[in-house]
Structure 1
Amino acid sequence: MATPTAYSPKAPSRAEVDALPGDTVVEFGTDWCGYCQGAQASIAKALAPHAGLRHLKIEDGPGRPLGRSFKIKLWPTLVLMRDGIEVARVVRPRSAGDIEDAFASL
């Protein structure tokens, strides 16, 4: 099994995220979060058919401005965006199906 990509401690600004063209998934969490670790297989399965989709894995926590701007409370949270506008959100997905249902918004 492949090792999941780590959450990046370097986050773009909210203005940079809002300016991204096309479809984007912004995933908020931390590498030490048990819920985040447990969801990685489901997230990978749901994203697999969408190879060209931009996926940003951003480390979140107190004082992290990007997460605060999205009002993130629980991890992992996936924010699905189209042309900088949030169209769906999945909080603590339990299965790939939870995430795939949100893709209908894109």
Structure 2
Amino acid sequence: MAMTPSYATSQPPRADIDDLAGATVVEFGTDWCGFCRAAQPMIAQAFQGHSGVRHLKIEDGSGRLLGRSFRVKLWPTLVFMLDGRELARLVRPGNASEIRDALALIDAPLVR
């Protein structure tokens, strides 16, 4: 799966997000947010090599229930989930390496 280019204006129910199998990053923000726009090149760079990670970009704002259920206060907020469980969260990431580190938590090869 590739990085999603723009924020979806429709929101899935929280239960649907919690039921997702595999690695998922839920990104909250808006297309007009300067912090969100500035973060996109870092996010794209970090996602290289993580093609199996599902990327959901959800538009957030006042009255948006999904963002409130994740206690989102600032944009962009990236929630890193594995099989419906949050394992990491980044708020206004400052560089691609911290995004890559969080991606590694949910997209690491299985050790046997």
Same structural fold, with TM-score higher than 0.5 when normalized by the shorter chain: yes
1:19-38 counterparts in 2 under 5 A? 19-38=19-38
Structure 1: segments with no counterpart, 5+ residues: none
Secondary structure in 1 aligned to 2:20?
A: coil
How many aligned residue pairs are there? Answer: 103
Alignment partner, residue 51 of structure 1: 51
Residue 103 of structure 1 deviates from its aligned partner by 2.2
2:31 maps to amino acid: D
Deviation, 1:31, is: 0.4
Q: CA deviation at 1:102?
A: 1.3
TM-score by length of 2: 0.88
Question: In the alignment, which residue of structure 1 is the partner of 2:71?
Answer: 71
Q: 2-side partners of 1:58 and 1:15: how far apart? A: 15
Q: Deviations over 1:6-53 (max 9, x none)?
A: 100011110000000011000000000000000000000001110121
Give the deviation of 1:68 after TM superposition.
Answer: 0.2
Aligned counterpart, 2:101 = 101
| Structure 1 residues 44-83: Cα deviation after superposition (integer angstroms, max 9, x where no partner) | 0001110121000000001101000000001001000011
Structure 1 stretches of 4+ moved >2 Å:
none
Give RMSD over aligned pairs.
1.1
Q: What is the identity percentage for the equivalent residue pairs of Structure 1 and Structure 2?
A: 60
Contact 2:23 2:52 (C-alpha < 8 Å) held by counterparts: no
Structure 2: runs of 5 or more not aligned: 107-112
Q: Distance in 2 between matches of 1:67 and 1:17?
A: 12
In structure 2, distance between residues paired with 1:30 and 1:59: 5
Q: In structure 1, how many angstroms separate the alpha carbons of the residues matched to 2:16 and 2:5?
A: 22
Q: Which residue of 1 aligns with 2:110?
A: none
